[in-house]
Amino acid sequence: MGLDDALIFTRVVEFHSFTQAASSLGMQKSTVSRRIALLEERLGVRLLNRTTRKLRLTEVGQAYYDRCRQIMLDFAEAEQAVMQLQQEPSGLLKITAPIEFGQMYLASVLGDFMRLYPQITAEVELSSRTVDPLEEGVDIAITVGQPEDSTLIARRLLVTNRCLCASPEYLRLHGRPQRVEDLALHRAVLLMQDSQRYWPLSNESVPCQRVLSCNNISFAREAALAGAGIATLPELIVEEALESGRLERLLPEVQLPIGELYAVYPSRRFQAMKVKTFLDYLIHRLPIDERHRLEPGAARLITSRP
């Protein structure tokens, strides 16, 4: 089978018409009809059932069409890959991200990216809500943790440790926990993504006295700074407060779950140049320890959780 035969056959199937397929290919209808007849003769099978009004694929024809269509997609993708090497990113880039990540990193990185590529425009929504990029037409949704949707591609941006911390005023009033079991006696500032009955520890099940729960890590940090209780927060968000002494790290030997941030986007065969280029640039710019990065271009299909 030649590539021309695959193209002619797929066009006939997709247009449901010899006439329209011939027009799209700049050929005569009689030529298209003859090429399909010769193709069927060479293969020794009937691919299409023809009536005066309709064309219908036979069972063998459907299987043949599926393979031909895949060949056409692969060919188009190869052409696009070559053409993109000669193009610069352009167009509207739609992004959603957690509020803190947007404020701390995304704004400056995106601003620099748009300066380098002036044909890029952007729309950014900072929110704690879960966004489905397929349903909402978003190019990149930056999320905390892996998505459960198996139709999405996820690219890990960073990993950050969490730590137990409290203000000096809270520790003065309530004492400092000396052992992990002591946490059961302390007031807990929790994130809604965590269990509301137990401290979010990796290898321990310690009950907690929840006094505050929220869906925003900056809010939780400010509450901890004000003395509301002990919080378990990403080190990135409390680094300055720990260095200045406004918060104190507690039980550093205790293991807490790590925090992961992913860039999620629809599983398209032809990923837009603007998306790939920006993700590579973003990962390169994130001030994270090298062991927490993935190589530019690395991405994987997220499988559904059990």
91-160+259-301 and 162-250, same CATH topology: yes
Task: State CA 145 to chain mean position distance.
Answer: 10
Residue 292 — pLDDT band, cuts 50, 70, 90? Answer: very low
Residue 296 — pLDDT band, cuts 50, 70, 90? Answer: very low
Segment holding 77, helix H or strand E: helix 59-84
Is residue 1 predicted with pLDDT exceeding 80? Answer: no
* pTM score, whole prediction: 0.60
**Cα dihedral sign for 98, 102, 304, 199?**
negative
Q: Where are the beta strands (DSSP E) in the chain?
A: 48-50, 55-57, 91-97, 120-126, 140-144, 152-160, 162-166, 187-191, 209-214, 230-234, 248-250, 259-266, 300-301
Q: Which fold has domain 3-84?
A: Arc Repressor Mutant, subunit A (1.10.10)
Is residue 84 predicted with pLDDT exceeding 80? Answer: no
Percent of the chain with pLDDT over 70: 88
Q: How far apart are CA 101 and CA 114, in angstroms?
A: 18
Highest mean predicted confidence (pLDDT) among 10-14, 36-40, 195-199, 240-244: 240-244
Q: How far apart are CA 210 and CA 267, in angstroms?
A: 40
Q: In this predicted model, what pLDDT tens digit does every residue of 200-247 receive, in sequence order?
A: 898 888 999 999 999 888 999 999 999 999 999 998 889 999 999 999
Q: In this predicted model, what pLDDT tens digit does every residue of 134-166 receive, in sequence order?
A: 778 889 999 888 777 667 888 888 888 899 999
pLDDT on residue 145: 81
Q: How far apart are CA 113 and CA 120, in angstroms?
A: 8
Higher pLDDT, 305 or 249: 249
pLDDT on residue 149: 67
Q: How far apart are CA 98 and CA 143, in angstroms?
A: 7
pLDDT on residue 290: 36
Q: What is the mean pLDDT of the chain?
A: 84
What is the mean pLDDT of the segment spanning 61-69?
A: 89
Q: How far apart are CA 236 and CA 75, in angstroms?
A: 45
Q: How far apart are CA 114 and CA 93, in angstroms?
A: 10
CATH number attached to the domain at 91-160+259-301: 3.40.190.10
Other CB atoms within 10 Å distance of the CB of residue 42? 10
CATH number attached to the domain at 162-250: 3.40.190.10
Residue 194 — pLDDT band, cuts 50, 70, 90? Answer: confident
- First-to-last C-alpha distance (Å) of the chain: 43
Q: How far apart are CA 98 and CA 152, in angstroms?
A: 18
Least confident of 190-194, 249-253, 302-306: 302-306
Q: How far apart are CA 224 and CA 171, in angstroms?
A: 11
CB 93 within 8 A of CB 140: yes
| Geometric angle at alpha carbon 125, from 120 and 129, rounded to 5° | 145
Higher pLDDT, 24 or 224: 224
Which tokens in the block code for residue 106?
Answer: 């995304």
CB 147 within 8 A of CB 267: no
DSSP 8-state symbol, 253: T
pLDDT on residue 267: 65
| Residue ranges covered by each domain of the chain | 3-84, 91-160+259-301, 162-250
